[in-house]
Amino acid sequence: MKFVANTYGAFAVPEKNNGRGENSSRRSVIAGIVCCATGGKLSRAQPGTGESFQGLDQLARVKGMKFGSEIRGEELRDQQYCRLVRKDCGIVVAGNELKWQLTEPRPNVMSFEGGNSLLDFSDKNGLKFRGTNLVWNRPENLPKWVNEFDFGRNSGRLAEKIITRHIISECKHYKSVISWDVVNEAIDQDSGAMRETVLSKVLGDELVELCFQIARHAAPDAELVYNDYMSWNLSSTKHRAGVLRLLERLRKHSTPVDALGIQSHIGPRLADGVLGNSVQEDRDWRRFLDDVTGMGYRIVLTELDIRDDYLTAMFESRDQVAADYVKRYLDLTLSYKQVKHVISWGMVDKYSWLKTAAPEHLGQARRPLPYDSSYQAKPIRDAIARALVAAPVR
């Protein structure tokens, strides 16, 4: 077993392969997933049939939710992509254009053109607009000039000033954003403690409270979200605990946070060559969702996709295995009526960030999204449709 690091954590891949692109532990893993997902029967979804005729947002709306997707400049220029967004989405989120690195590339020099085009598209098509993110608390995701800033003797004041200017100018510019990821990925996945950045070094953990207070002032009507990638996998135990501690503290300090964003970059993780005990994973996930909702937070699934490239043993039916896994995840998670939006991190495989986030296992092209690279609906789309249909009304 070796661990491969990507931007949202380390994941394990089996080291040995029998030369036919399969290995026995992986086969049992897949069998486990399929069995769990289908109650023993492998259901064969027919993309494009049944519920799939309706747009996904139409199905979500019946249940009091919204369905949407990430969109960024490159995708906006693709008419076929836009057609799918119009068909399936009621909300879009800017993939990159609203991130600090792009909106303020140099101190006090704002650049809103990229985001403006996305907002224009969403307005013209009657779509709601989400913003991600105001402060991404990772050194590699802060603007270079922030990382290199000399905060000098009055460091706290200066840091506060820079953050305030940034959040206010961005929120005031994008007034119609209905939901903001105010702070992204503040918690370290391995320790569960606050991630260290130049900003947290100066302001301490209270950086998070500060960001939300400024955001509430600048965007009084928007939903304010803390967004992170803790998952239902066993390997995410410390990450979940750290996020819960943060959410508790924010409640204690009466910080204006409305919802937890669960990124939902899902994928079965392999531990010791076998699938993590999914019964335990389900139980842990429920406990986590109980704790989050028990504190009064709403939930947004902000970046749904599935990492599927190690399912090579069953290559022909890999899409179905991935779809069953998505369905199982959504069935459990959407059973919580506090989940309001489900947002896919893109619609079409060829644009997925996972194409480049980490090396593809055994060179297998990833197929993480509802539509393949020829814009054809895949079983994942059908799984999302069926999960929306099965979800309780909220």
In this structure, which amino acid lies at residue 142? Answer: L
Given a contact cutoff of 8 angstroms between Cβ atoms, the answer to whether 368 and 93 are in contact is no
The tokens describing 368, both together, are 């993480």
Smallest gap from Cβ 132 to ligand XIL, in A, equals: 6
The tokens describing 312, both together, are 């090579």
Nearer to ligand XIL, 59 or 94 (CB): 94
Smallest gap from Cβ 151 to ligand XIL, in A, equals: 26
Nearer to ligand XIL, 184 or 235 (CB): 184
Query: Up-side HSE of residue 84: CA atoms within 13 Å toward CB?
Result: 27
- Biggest CA–CA distance in the chain, Å, is 65
Smallest gap from Cβ 354 to ligand XIL, in A, equals: 9
Asked if 8 interacts with ligand XIL (CB under 6 A), we say yes
Residue 390 burial (CB count, 10 A): 14
Subset of 122-151 contacting ligand XIL (CB under 6 A): 132
Nearer to ligand XIL, 132 or 333 (CB): 132
Angle between helices 278-294 and 237-252 (to 10 degrees): 10
Size of the site for ligand XIL (CB under 6 A): 8
Smallest gap from Cβ 181 to ligand XIL, in A, equals: 7
Smallest gap from Cβ 30 to ligand XIL, in A, equals: 25
Phi, psi values for residue 143, rounded to 5°: -60, 145
Nearer to ligand XIL, 95 or 143 (CB): 95
Nearer to ligand XIL, 8 or 121 (CB): 8
Smallest gap from Cβ 115 to ligand XIL, in A, equals: 14
Interacting residue with ligand XIL among 121, 226, 285, 353 (CB under 6 A): 353
In this structure, which amino acid lies at residue 260? Answer: L
The burial of 12, by beta-carbon neighbours within 10 Å (0-12 exposed, 13-18 middle, 19 or more buried), is given as middle
Subset of 148-187 contacting ligand XIL (CB under 6 A): 184
Query: Strand, helix or coil at 79?
Result: helix
Residue 75 burial (CB count, 10 A): 23
Phi, psi values for residue 237, rounded to 5°: -55, -50
Residue whose CB is nearest to ligand XIL in the complex, by number: 353
Subset of 362-391 contacting ligand XIL (CB under 6 A): none
Nearer to ligand XIL, 213 or 263 (CB): 263
Q: How far is CA 233 from CA 28, 144, 288, in A?
A: 17, 33, 12
Nearer to ligand XIL, 132 or 278 (CB): 132
Smallest gap from Cβ 307 to ligand XIL, in A, equals: 12
157's CB contacts (< 8 A; 6+ apart) are: none
Nearer to ligand XIL, 303 or 349 (CB): 303
Subset of 279-308 contacting ligand XIL (CB under 6 A): 303
Interacting residue with ligand XIL among 47, 90, 95, 143 (CB under 6 A): 95
Nearer to ligand XIL, 247 or 385 (CB): 247
Question: DSSP letters of 80-125?
Answer: HHHHHHHHH-SEEEESSTTSHHHH-SBTTB---HHHHHHHHHHHHT
Subset of 182-211 contacting ligand XIL (CB under 6 A): 184
Chain residues in the site for ligand XIL (CB under 6 A): 8, 95-96, 132, 184, 263, 303, 353
